[in-house]
Amino acid sequence: MEFKAQSIADFLGGTVEGDVEATVSDVAKIEEARPGTLAFLSNPKYNKYLYESKATIIIVNQDLEVEGDVSATLIRVPDAYKAFASLLELVQQAKVNKIGIENPSYIDPSATVGKDVYIGAFAYIGKNVRIGNHVRIYPQVYIGDNTTIKDDTIIFAGAKIYEDTKIGEACIIHAGAVIGADGFGFAPTEDGTYMKIPQVGNVILEDFVEIGANTTIDCATMGSTIIGKGTKIDNLVQIAHNVEVGENTVMAALTGISGSTKIGKNCRFGGQAGVVGHITIGDNVNVGAMSGVAKSIKSNKTVLLAPAMDMAQAAKVTVVWRNLPQLRDQVFDLEKQVKEIKTKLAE
């Protein structure tokens, strides 16, 4: 698919500086671009590449001052980063714009399927499933009974959606994700074994949620595990039973949230963060990478380390950690001096 500079500028509401007929068929980073590609420049640290890049078209900020010869056609916009993101979204939509039902696939007679839907080969659609308009379900996806999927949602290859799951509009579920598997519920018995506690709840993904590849979200023991509107979850994240995540929260890879924890709106979790169960995390909380949260956190806090603590306290602790080898040597020296003093006093 090819795009001309003027067409791109019209879409972005920008202006062309150079050849309006310049054509691109791919995108690239400005430092790695080749002829026929589109790049962008928003960070001043990369300004030097403007004069070296082989890109055919470069999107730049409106106020950028050009200080040398530029071979590329420029498209000036108010915000180059946002403009480029809009173009990438357009390219992505073109890639996933499939329609039709491939064979072999199974759709239970009781299921309802909306308009302009794509269902890939070897997909399974269970009883009483409700699929909205413009939904795209890629090959080898399993959709359990009584699941609802609203308009414009995309479920990529190999994802597994257990029964009774509710998925909102314009969600994205990446390959290998498992939504609605049993929560980790077992009761110890007198003989030392464990009795499985049936998990009869479900999972609710609200609108505009994105779930990364191989992420798992467990169903509730009773009630619902809820992922709030606009929340973005990275690959390889574990969300346990009865967890509630507020709107527009983001979680980086390998984060783990234990059962029945409540997380507020607009929170951010760094990679490998871990959270114990049955606690509450307020709104606008930042949890640093590899932090271990063992107790509730009030809103508007930033915590680091394990066990997680306030950022100011974490900074003090980190300074001490860095000096531990020196402090160890000082303690040994003091012990040696004390022994020497005791020996002299004993004489």
For 148, other C-beta atoms within 10 Å of its C-beta total 17
CA 80 to chain centre: 23
Amino acid at the residue 155:
I
CA–CA gap between residue 296 and residue 21 (Å, rounded): 58
CA–CA gap between residue 155 and residue 135 (Å, rounded): 8
- In degrees, rounded to 5, the angle at the alpha carbon of residue 144 between the alpha carbons of residues 138 and 145 is 130
DSSP notation for 237-254: -EE-TT-EE-TT-EE-TT
Task: Provide φ and ψ at 222, rounded to 5°.
Answer: -140, 150
3-state helix, strand, coil in the chain (%, to 5): 20, 30, 50
CA–CA gap between residue 67 and residue 77 (Å, rounded): 18
Reply yes or no on whether 278 is catalytic. Answer: no
The answer to whether the CB of 95 falls within 8 A of the CB of 113 is no
The answer to whether the CB of 124 falls within 8 A of the CB of 158 is no
Catalytic-labelled residue, pool 134, 174, 241, 278: 241
Given the DSSP bridges, would you call strands 3-4 and 23-24 parallel, antiparallel or unpaired? antiparallel
Q: Which residues are catalytic?
A: 241
